[in-house]
Amino acid sequence: MEMSSFIPVNKPLLDGKEKQYLIECIESGWISSEGPFVEEFERRFAARVGRKHGVAVCNGTAAIDAAVEAIGIGPGDEVIVPTFTIISCIGQILRNGAWPIFIDSNPQTWNMDVGQIEKKITPRTKAILLVHVYGLPADVGPILEIAQKHGLKVIEDAAEMHGQTYCGKPCGSFGDLSIFSFYPNKHITTGEGGMVVTDDDELASTCRSLRNLCFQQQRRFVHDRLGWNLRMTNMQAALGLAQLERLDEFVQRKRAMGARYNELLHGLPGVQLPLQQTDYAQNIYWVYGIVLDASLGFDAHEAMHRLEEKRIGTRPFFYPLHLQPLLQEKYSSHKGAYPVAERMGEQGLYLPSGMALTMEQIDTVAKTVRDVLAQ
């Protein structure tokens, strides 16, 4: 029976109060961003990560755009960014005429290699974009120390870190501004959605204004600044609230999935599995990633193709930002500049990891991975 059904890389779990809250939206007529779920979701989510303010937006990318704009990154500024991340991290930096300065990854945790940051700081450096990837937090402590020492702002991209902690403190509590995404493959989803969280009253108010076209209180259609329409709808927030109620359960579920994959794939030659824990955190397996050794004789692309033929959905790892074709004219970055991220980009893929994945499906995936990689 399982033999013929495709196992998708992601399927969310929406069997809590999602339906009930959505029906409330429809029956009350509150479907826009003016509805009551938005503020409630902001308040509860911000409280959950220990922050004073939450500003809900339409997606995680928009949350980063608003954060970069709110702290005033402008022409000629430099922002320290890991090269192994999603393009969303550098969109607004580039549009504002600033420069991302890339950092390679730690080969074990896959997060930015903290030891490489300080030598990249110049008088033009304005901020560090601290990104947590795939399930383990970046090493936040030393990054915050460097930022403090050099007077840099920190934007924390916690898009993949709902429910994760660093030394017992919630991810999303570390940046001047921190952001989350609620895309359907994240630990909690609103379909599309995101949030900026902060303790700073002024930054929160700037983000609220940027989200809402910079309309003014007194003279609505008179604008001092250019914003966007980044508003989250009441329907999205309704989903978010229902999902948030189950965050602890979801984190446990993901950890159990990761443990199962670890057990079943342990010892497979030529395959690097995710690190289960570090000194400061236990993996929450946002996705279950693997990195293939060159000795296997094929790359992630080939492995993904073979798994697709056996009806297993996968996705490649991030492709390093310094090698993006869109940057080639501006940057003289070349292959070999950030070897760890480059290797992960070529040899890394992730297996089905969605919240609705069953243990039986994991068994099927693991068995198929073993067969495919042994060929």
Residue (87 or 275) nearer to ligand PLP, CB: 87
Residue (103 or 372) nearer to ligand PLP, CB: 103
- Contact between residue 232 and residue 57 where contact means Cβ atoms under 8 Å apart: yes
Q: Is residue 373 near ligand PLP by the rule CB under 6 A?
A: no
Instruction: Find the binder of ligand PLP among 160, 174, 237, 353 (CB under 6 A).
Output: 160
DSSP track, 23-82: HHHHHHT--STTSHHHHHHHHHHHHHTT-SEEEEES-HHHHHHHHHHHTT--TT-EEEEE
Task: Find, among 295, 307, 309, the residue nearest to 347 by Cα.
Answer: 295
The one-letter code for the residue type at 186 is K
Q: Give the binding range for ligand PLP (CB under 6 A) out of 157-165, 234-242, 263-271, 302-310.
A: 157-165
Strand ranges, E, within 271-314? 271-272, 288-292
CA distance 368 to 375: 11
> Measured from the CB of residue 364, what is the shortest distance to ligand PLP in angstroms?
26
Instruction: Find the binder of ligand PLP among 59, 189, 236, 361 (CB under 6 A).
Output: 59
Annotated active-site residue 19? The verdict is no
Residue (87 or 259) nearer to ligand PLP, CB: 87
- Contact between residue 137 and residue 13 where contact means Cβ atoms under 8 Å apart: no
> Measured from the CB of residue 249, what is the shortest distance to ligand PLP in angstroms?
21
Instruction: Find the binder of ligand PLP among 69, 78, 157, 342 (CB under 6 A).
Output: 157
The one-letter code for the residue type at 354 is G
| Per-residue binding letters, 311-350, with ligand PLP (x by CB under 6 A) | ----------------------------------------
- Contact between residue 265 and residue 240 where contact means Cβ atoms under 8 Å apart: no
Question: Which 3 state secondary structure label does DSSP give 147?
Answer: helix
Of the residues 126, 153, 186, 254, only one is catalytic, namely 186
Instruction: Find the binder of ligand PLP among 135, 184, 194, 352 (CB under 6 A).
Output: 194
Residue (161 or 366) nearer to ligand PLP, CB: 161
Residue (181 or 364) nearer to ligand PLP, CB: 181
Residue (88 or 236) nearer to ligand PLP, CB: 88
Question: Binding residues for ligand PLP, how many (CB under 6 A)?
Answer: 13
> Measured from the CB of residue 86, what is the shortest distance to ligand PLP in angstroms?
5
State how beta strands 153-157 and 177-181 pair.
Answer: parallel
Task: Find, among 242, 111, 240, 251, the residue nearest to 170 by Cα.
Answer: 251
Q: Give the binding range for ligand PLP (CB under 6 A) out of 81-89, 232-240, 247-255, 294-302.
A: 81-89
Instruction: Find the binder of ligand PLP among 68, 86, 117, 204 (CB under 6 A).
Output: 86
Question: Which 3 state secondary structure label does DSSP give 174?
Answer: coil
> Measured from the CB of residue 61, what is the shortest distance to ligand PLP in angstroms?
3
- Contact between residue 158 and residue 180 where contact means Cβ atoms under 8 Å apart: yes
Helix axes 234-244, 36-48, angle to 10 degrees: 40
DSSP-derived secondary structure letter, 2: T
Question: Which residue do the tokens 């342990």 mark?
Answer: 266
Cα–chain center distance at 45:
16
Among positions 90-129, residues that touch ligand PLP (CB under 6 A) are none
Which residues participate in catalysis according to the annotation? 186
Sites of contact with ligand PLP (CB under 6 A) = 59-61, 85-86, 88, 131, 157, 159-160, 181, 183, 194
